[in-house]
Chain A
Amino acid sequence: GAVVSQHPSRVICKSGTSVKIECRSLDFQATTMFWYRQFPKQSLMLMATSNEGSKATYEQGVEKDKFLINHASLTLSTLTVTSAHPEDSSFYICSASPPGPGGGRHNEQFFGPGTRLTVL
């Protein structure tokens, strides 16, 4: 099956620093990737849709200047949490759909293993 990787798996940083998280599709090309955020014991909340070669589209309430998304190639999307604060501590998960009927948008998504961000 399709594999999505994330790096790093875990990061601890000081308040005020920026953290970059990478999401890679290892064996398929993904024109669209998705970034989710998950707090403990809660569900996944979609943050933004990352589009290769164009600007990301953000969900309501998500600050685009805070969470910078770059989708520079068909296999890599990055999420940068700028000037991180303790309230940004969370589990960040990316996903991608392999191309298929309907552009793969309604097909199963493959998820990365997640990145645990802790801001001190």
Chain B
Amino acid sequence: SQQGEEDPQALSIQEGENATMNCSYKTSINNLQWYRQNSGRGLVHLILIRSNEREKHSGRLRVTLDTSKKSSSLLITASRAADTASYFCAGPNLGGKLIFGQGTELSVKP
């Protein structure tokens, strides 16, 4: 079963624009994580936001968490062609296992 559901499933933007991806989850979590995956490669951890945090920044990344709505968003500002990848949210279930959302496929055109 999926912990997170993401939208949009695919997003195509021009270089320099901002990209926003959303994630909704089902059960209570103590943190939510965002990962990036380039085509055919492993995952790279981007950022972790804890349940008592509402917003977190890392470079051009901004993550928000709304536990009342069980949702999170990932914003990539001033996107670059190199940001083209799939982005996944993931949260630990009650057993501590990391369960992934369906992912958003981001395409940044130069």
Contacts from A to B (Cβ < 8 Å): 4, 6, 34, 41-46, 49, 91, 93, 95, 105-114, 116
How many Å lie between the Cα of A4 and that of B99 in the bound state? 19
- How many residues from B make CB contacts under 8 Å with A? 23
Total A-B pairs, Cβ < 8 A: 52
Checking B44, B99, B105 against A111 with a beta-carbon cut-off of 8 angstroms, the contacting residue is B44
Given A43-B103, A44-B88, A105-B92, verify A114-B98 contact (CB < 8 Å).
Answer: no
How many Å lie between the Cα of A42 and that of B9 in the bound state? 10
For residue A45, which residues in chain B have a CB less than 8 angstroms away from its CB?
100
For residue B43, which residues in chain A have a CB less than 8 angstroms away from its CB?
44, 93, 95, 111
For residue A46, which residues in chain B have a CB less than 8 angstroms away from its CB?
97-99
Is B30 touching A106 in the complex (CB atoms < 8 A)?
yes
Considering only residues 63-110 of chain B, those with a C-beta below 8 Å from chain A are 88, 92, 96-103, 105
Is A93 touching B103 in the complex (CB atoms < 8 A)?
no
Is B42 touching A109 in the complex (CB atoms < 8 A)?
no
Residue of B nearest to A6 (CB): B42
Is B96 touching A93 in the complex (CB atoms < 8 A)?
no
